[in-house]
Structure 1
């Protein structure tokens, strides 16, 4: 059984990250290496199963060539604590 995203915000964030990565034609491994993450951790970010630190988010946005604000703009505020 696959674990669900930790929140709607994490799911949407991951979808945005995946869409941008695919626009760039890059693999998960390439983005993970550039943002100093393990590739399996990055895969969990894309699936909404991880809650990134600020520094990880900033590194990820830099590798994706976007402002971090674009990745988080308008995300819903979680109504219950993260399961992370």
Structure 2
């Protein structure tokens, strides 16, 4: 899986859980203390976010980090 596809998959998982919990994108960005446009770019897979940010998002959604990361295939290097 490419780096971009990994980021898109992670963003999709975050978005799905946010929606399942009834948060709007703007509302959740506020709860997570993230800029709304930055948070939107995370959900679209446009940002290579830090592990710390993943942890913060997981905490605000009352999920373990593994919930978002499990079963994502490894990134294939171009080598």
| TM-score normalised according to structure 2 size | 0.85
**C-alpha distance in 1 between matches for 2:48 and 2:31:** 18
**C-alpha distance in 2 between matches for 1:76 and 1:35:** 27
Structure 1 unpaired stretches of 5+: 1-5
Structure 2 unpaired stretches of 5+: none
Match of 1:62 in 2: 59
Structure 1 ranges of 4+ moved more than 4 A: none
Corresponding pairs, count? 76
| TM-score normalised according to structure 1 size | 0.80
Match of 1:3 in 2: none
